Structure 1
């Protein structure tokens, strides 16, 4: 009689799932940290003009104002250039109140150093831009910048 016997079947042992929750939580944590959440739903067309001299912007103390024609899904708002602050359309007379609402969402220590950034569509009406700038001056918000896209200098 032989001392060594063959096992009954050649079955594979079951896969251990003990480390599976660790892997799932690691992936969940990675995607939570790496994902950037969009703050505003852009309701206007925003094809920015080109500029050859640009700088990076500190976005932590910036309030964005978008000016342009309503995008295709918001055509019920008209076809003329509109102003968007946050997630809503505003009229020129409502700009001050809407900007101060956005400023109040910032941290307390940044509120005194707010910069208003205008993201104006290349085809937008300049009259509405001048009206917005006038409202911002009346609200004592003199730091206004224009957001553009980078382009090489033309010789």
Structure 2
């Protein structure tokens, strides 16, 4: 009689699932960290003009103002005339002061006096609307204004 017996049947051993919860939580944590949530729901058309000299903007000290005609899904409700959007709400020139003060208050206290206003203006927007925005910004002493564009050259990229 021998001490060693051959295995009967060629069955595979059961899969060890002890480390499965660790892997699931690691994946969950990874996707929570790398997922970027969109801050604003764009309600205006944004076909930005092109510029050949662009720089990256520091997002921690900026307030975004979107200007343009309402996008296709909002035209029935708001019409086709140029609108101003701050955050997720439309505002007019008279309500701009309140909206900008509210957005400035959301920034860190040490950055509230050095706010950079970023204008994302559709290329088909009326210049009068942009002038009205700039006058309100001057009244609020928010004079650091930049225009957001797309890289390229308007003359050669057509």
Equivalences for residues 43-58 of structure 1 within 5 A: 43-58=43-58
Q: For 2:48 and 2:131, locate their aligned partners in 1 and report how far apart those are by CA, in whole Å.
A: 17
**2:144 matched to which residue of 1?**
143
Q: Identify unmatched segments of 5+ residues in structure 1.
A: none
Q: For 2:11 and 2:105, locate their aligned partners in 1 and report how far apart those are by CA, in whole Å.
A: 66
**2:31 matched to which residue of 1?**
31
Moved over 6 A (4+): none
**1:84 matched to which residue of 2?**
85
Q: Deviations over 1:58-92 (max 9, x none)?
A: 11100000001111111111101100000000011
**2:114 matched to which residue of 1?**
113
Q: For 1:90 and 1:17, locate their aligned partners in 2 and report how far apart those are by CA, in whole Å.
A: 55
**1:71 matched to which residue of 2?**
71
RMSD: 1.7
Q: For 1:132 and 1:93, locate their aligned partners in 2 and report how far apart those are by CA, in whole Å.
A: 10
- Secondary structure of 1:92 counterpart: coil
Is the CA contact (8 Å cut-off) linking 2:49 and 2:122 kept in structure 1? yes
Q: For 1:38 and 1:123, locate their aligned partners in 2 and report how far apart those are by CA, in whole Å.
A: 25
Q: Displacement of 1:4 after TM fit?
A: 4.3
**1:41 matched to which residue of 2?**
41
Distance 1:32 1:151, change over 3 A: same
- Secondary structure of 1:22 counterpart: helix
State the number of aligned residues.
155
Q: For 1:126 and 1:153, locate their aligned partners in 2 and report how far apart those are by CA, in whole Å.
A: 18
Q: For 1:84 and 1:4, locate their aligned partners in 2 and report how far apart those are by CA, in whole Å.
A: 80
Give TM-score scaled by structure 1 length: 0.93
Q: For 1:102 and 1:153, locate their aligned partners in 2 and report how far apart those are by CA, in whole Å.
A: 32
- Secondary structure of 2:131 counterpart: helix
Distance 1:154 1:121, change over 3 A: closer
